[in-house]
Amino acid sequence: MKYRTFINANFVKSGSGTMTARLNMPVTVLRDMGITESDRTVIWEYNPISKEITLKKYFPLETFDIDFEYKFVEKINDCFDKIIFDYFEQTHITGSKFTFSISIGGRQIGNKTCERDDCLMFDESPVLQILLQKNKISINVNISFFESLNFQPYKKYIEKLKVELQELAIKNKLSIEEGSEIINNI
């Protein structure tokens, strides 16, 4: 059952004069999401195209520290952003029913524990997936999707991401592997 209500944004000026906004939400909804006073971190996402804000419960990585996770996510998001931007620049599309989305999952891929499963989707089909497991990082690319778009402009972003994740893997004693088959979260 969906829960929908209207809430007001409260704007507060700090002592230094900067403005901040707060949204008050029903505690019952937060508890239903698993957010408590002691476990209160959420992932806040803003989509500038649809003008939508999404909140998700944050599940910290079990094996890696927050500094590693921040760098890992930052590199992936940078690559995803560049691919999406270039796609719209190349196709000159300003609006379309087919669009990109980013899926963040994890916990279980087949019978293997997975810390994170970050996937760039186009029209709900995966095109680039990065899996983080306890001892390795896997990068899976849907080559046929990118070849249909003249792969070269996008390849440089994927290659840069591979190099950056390789450096991160070496620092954290992880292996890295590449594949061309997106692994479904089963």
Per-domain residue ranges of the chain: 9-57, 66-179
Residue 48 reports pLDDT greater than 70: yes
pLDDT tens-place string over residues 114-151: 677 788 888 777 888 888 877 888 888 888 887 777 76
Largest CA distance in the chain: 55
From 62, 64, 59, select the one nearest 172 (Cα to Cα). 64
pTM: 0.61
pLDDT band at 164 (very low <50, low <70, confident <90, very high): very high
CA atoms within 13 A on the CB side of 175: 3
**Nearest CA to 149 among 102, 81, 83?**
83
Predicted pLDDT of residue 60: 63
Mean pLDDT, residues 156-172? 89
